[in-house]
Amino acid sequence: MEKVPMYLVTVLLFALACSLASASDPSPLQDFCVAINSSILLASTLGISLARIDFVPYGVNSPHLHPLGTEITMVVEGTLYVGFVTSDTDNRLFTKVLNKGDVFVFPIGHIHFEFNVGKTNAVAFAGFSSQNLRVITIADAVFGSNPPINFDVLTKAFQVDKNVINYLEQQFK
């Protein structure tokens, strides 16, 4: 008998949880949706979400946060360097290198990232404690805002020259 891959077990457990959960919606499973966008697979229902994230070698999921839910990530292929920054005044960074089968939890509202440190593709599944996966990517929000944040604010906040801010904003337009 062939061994069942761990990622398949995760997906099956997710499906089982969805079928057993209840919600105030008269037909909770009508909210189930799966969408493929680039290399991310999303499934949202009953107050939880699941995403599959495919990383190319040295690919990065840029620093971002989820204001509405905690994230738990499991690597099913490859090696990821992951971390989050605490939201207190210490701004303490917690990191770990994750290999196949390893799991890491990113607390709700904390800035975090994932980086494929391997020379091969990596795949991870991320579960979220919210049906609304809302993502705020830090660089996009700061340097890609519309209208742009005033140069004086950004040069003072980042303690850099106006030309640096201008260059960064051009990367996000």
Taking residue 46's Cβ as centre, other Cβ atoms within 10 Å add up to: 18
> Is 71 known to sit in a ligand binding site?
yes
> Is 169 known to sit in a ligand binding site?
no
Identify the CA nearest to 132 among candidates 46, 41, 39.
46
Place of tokens 């950004």: 154
Beginning with the edge strand found earlier in the chain, give each strand of the sheet holding 93-98 in spatial order: 93-98, 80-85, 112-116, 60-65, 136-137
Cβ atoms of 91 and 15 within 8 Å: the answer is no
The DSSP call for residue 39 is T
> Is 132 known to sit in a ligand binding site?
no
Cβ atoms of 114 and 40 within 8 Å: the answer is no
> Is 37 known to sit in a ligand binding site?
no
> Is 114 known to sit in a ligand binding site?
no
Return the structure tokens found at 53: 């994230």
Annotation: binding site for oxalate:
61, 66, 71
Annotation: binding site for Mn(2+):
64, 66, 71, 112
Annotation: binding site:
61, 64, 66, 71, 112
